[in-house]
Structure 1
Amino acid sequence: MTADREFATAREAANDPRILVFGRLLGAANRLEFLLGRALAEGTGLSHSLFELLLVVGRAGPGGIAVRDIAQARVLTSGGATRLVDRASAQGLVTRHASPDDGRVQLVELTRRGEELVVAASALHARNIERYLIDVLTPDQAAVFAEAIRTLSKSAATALPVMP
């Protein structure tokens, strides 16, 4: 099958193996995001988007991370990242301060409360990832899946434009 082949019918297009595999990837991601996000919200009060923000900020470590880098990591516009940071700040989970190197750049760091909450939420999240993802696969499948997802993520990240 060539990449530029046209489809004769909607059914043929919908059953194309390339389209099916991507649809299954999105379907699985959406279902897992719902299940894991609901568990986070019920168990910690954190939305999945705030939890992911705290992970990005926590991964950056001491000194913080620029809002523009949060936008790129989360595939958000700078305005979307700013609104997310504003929500986390209003809840006392992060602080912002000017970069010592460039005062125009705002750096975001976890507060003590944010650190404690992301650590507790991560324990819950990891258990649910095991339940809904890792335990469903054989150990060999889980290893192949983890490597494949890593490869896909890195490839997509290099193709992604700089977020506005």
Structure 2
Amino acid sequence: MSSNVLALYRRITRWPLGHWLFSRAVCLKAPYFATIAPRFVALEPGRCELRIRDHRRVHNHLGTVHAIALCNMAELSAGVMTDVTVAPGMRWIPKGMQVSYLKKAVGTLHAVASSIAPAPQAASGYEWPVAVRIVDAGGEAVFEATVQMWVSPRTRP
């Protein structure tokens, strides 16, 4: 599956509106993430970048981007990066997330998920940490997270 996602990204993003189409396809597969209206801007093994615009629907009562919207950005970017990085035949699921809210999140936000260490080539399950950093339009960090992914072999019935 991982090579399929990366191949789709590489193929579809050559088209006009390709990044938008890819982002929509991901949100069709995992509908909850559509709540933040993400736009994927880069994807390769070991790295995923996406952004969200500052919409009222992601605001909290203070008018800033809600903490859970930031967590959604982290989980989505970490998950898609993991999907295109781990060995074929492996599946993944977030096991936990440690987050730090560094300053008020306003404006367009840009998330970068990257592997902290190379993905092991293991035949059994393992925990794999993914680092996510979200910055504002000025390049200042507003949020950082480590998402612990549980990666294990796909089971076929």
Q: TM-score range by the shorter chain?
A: under 0.3
TM-score between both structures, scaled by the size of structure 2 = 0.22
More strand by share: 2
More helix by share: 1
TM-score between both structures, scaled by the size of structure 1 = 0.21
- Structure whose alpha-carbon radius of gyration is higher: 1
